[in-house]
Structure 1
């Protein structure tokens, strides 16, 4: 069996151990549909069903049982492979793939790349910036920055910060359209909204000084699935945007944007984690430690 099937075998082993697709998905921090798809891909490769599926239980077929026994302790195999690779390295070297959202990567990762490369010149960094949810296992991601609560899983995670939100617009837009003095007035304004194939963030929550919270549904003047484009459009005076203040601090310092509706705050906060999947190479361990040490400062 090709080494390219190791990720599929890893998922298959987790499903069998847990006895359910959902439990395996929780451990691997993957959607249930992705776990099911990987098992189907492995079945297509083998050419026969590996599992009997029912509404309550999963049962191994004879072929599935033979495959499970034949591949043995896959975690130990993967660990040994990483160990063999690391033993050949005097210094950390090789490829390390890092995944993050576009603005997160731009604000947190890109400024560190020069120092990271100077520290570890033998490590090749593959930076994957995408505002869509990425399957870490399928995309061969070594390290990722993730926003929000993480499910109980085999992921190694360290909290590195907290995400919050505010509302911003360009002076040119406010000069032409006026500045809203209450969340309700957003109905008369152009709102720039993040949205993708699965969700649209057009309900903007506001909390006043007394702690009362109200969610306002805004009608998008423009919607995009790219957070960098969202900020650029706001700088061009196309409307009001809801975004993390940290992500637009340079635009605010330069006068391209300024905060609006400052008597209200967004009631939600989301943790930011640095995560990795399972075993790590010497190179990915070095990058992981470098990032943690920097963000701990």
Structure 2
């Protein structure tokens, strides 16, 4: 059975160099091969084609008619080899290309955006494509390379790196509390305006509480009748700072509002009983290119440091 033609590409490239440089020795010097190796490769190509491509003499080489036709038909091969080698060298020097990152609105604003200038400084040739959405997306279907996800991950082909732990608390603006009073017991939330996150995947209208004075493990879950619902967590935080109601949210995410006093804790004696890991996830190494690897390592380091700096317990 004849050997497939594509397996002759190395021999075809050697033939081109011989034809271009006018001798086996010149081609051998350029390709850093022995003269005998060059001659053997050209002979293999001729054997595959069952055609003589070069007329050899002691002084010079001359292309046969089929040799001339083959040289013209494959004129772009040398440029293709050059471009491929240039691409390899470029990739060795600096990662380049597009990397798509998916994250929720608040994590993007509060954790990702502050480190993007440093990321772009370190990898200026990488184009970042941010998918900012409070819905969880499928990495493969949406073409996402890296995502930040909250909660325990199901078994899958994704690679995960824990970068922090999400907790929850209850907060309102001082203006709201001056107007409506401060609740001292979760049951009093029925008389307050509450801001609730609701999406196609989640309706966070059950707010759990643990009373430190109650028996260990006793949890009270309150069904909230919301004043406002939204599938945009950032908008809910903004509404809370405007005095529209009480919000259940991760204190890490509203660190800026807590520092400025725009939001303050309520129901301080009570705590939220749950926590959830925050993961950086991406496809397995075989499915990642060099640019995705570079951004993955950068975010894994910087987001973990950010989590530590803002007081997330990562034990």
- Give the 5 Å matches for 1:76-115: 89-90=91-92, 91-115=94-118
- Give the 5 Å matches for 1:205-220: 205-209=208-212, 210=214, 211=216, 212-220=218-226
Quick one: structure 1 residues 184 and 85, their matched pair in 2 at CA, closer, same or farther if it must change by over 3 Å?
farther
User: How many Å separate the matches in 1 of 2:293 and 2:162?
Assistant: 17
- Find the partner of 2:255 among 238, 249, 254: 249
Name the SS of the counterpart of 1:272 in structure 2: strand
TM-aligned CA deviation for residue 296 of structure 1: 3.7
- Find the partner of 1:140 among 139, 143, 146: 143
Quick one: structure 1 residues 218 and 125, their matched pair in 2 at CA, closer, same or farther if it must change by over 3 Å?
same
Matched, 1:294 2:302: yes
User: How many Å separate the matches in 1 of 2:88 and 2:273?
Assistant: 46
User: How many Å separate the matches in 2 of 1:200 and 1:152?
Assistant: 24
Residue number in structure 1 paired with 2:125: 122
User: How many Å separate the matches in 1 of 2:260 and 2:132?
Assistant: 25
Structure 1, unaligned runs of 5 or more: 1-83
Q: Encode CA deviations 1:194-253: one digit per residue, 9 max, x unaligned.
A: 001243111000011144210001101000000000000000000000000011110111
Matched, 1:282 2:290: yes
Residue number in structure 1 paired with 2:193: 190
Residue number in structure 2 paired with 1:273: 279
Contact 2:196 2:230 in 1 (8 A): yes
Residue number in structure 2 paired with 1:261: 267
Contact 2:101 2:144 in 1 (8 A): yes
Quick one: structure 1 residues 153 and 198, their matched pair in 2 at CA, closer, same or farther if it must change by over 3 Å?
closer
Q: CA RMSD in A?
A: 1.5
Q: Greater CA radius of gyration, 1 or 2?
A: 2
User: How many Å separate the matches in 2 of 1:87 and 1:281?
Assistant: 15
- Find the partner of 1:236 among 234, 242, 245: 242
User: How many Å separate the matches in 2 of 1:172 and 1:120?
Assistant: 44
TM-aligned CA deviation for residue 85 of structure 1: 7.3
Contact 1:92 1:123 in 2 (8 A): yes
Contact 1:86 1:282 in 2 (8 A): no
Structure 1 runs of 4+ with >6 Å offset: 84-87
The size of the alignment, in residue pairs, is 214
User: How many Å separate the matches in 2 of 1:111 and 1:163?
Assistant: 19
TM-aligned CA deviation for residue 86 of structure 1: 6.4
Structure 2, unaligned runs of 5 or more: 1-85, 306-315
Contact 1:164 1:270 in 2 (8 A): yes
- Find the partner of 1:163 among 150, 163, 166: 166
Name the SS of the counterpart of 2:176 in structure 1: helix
Contact 1:86 1:281 in 2 (8 A): no
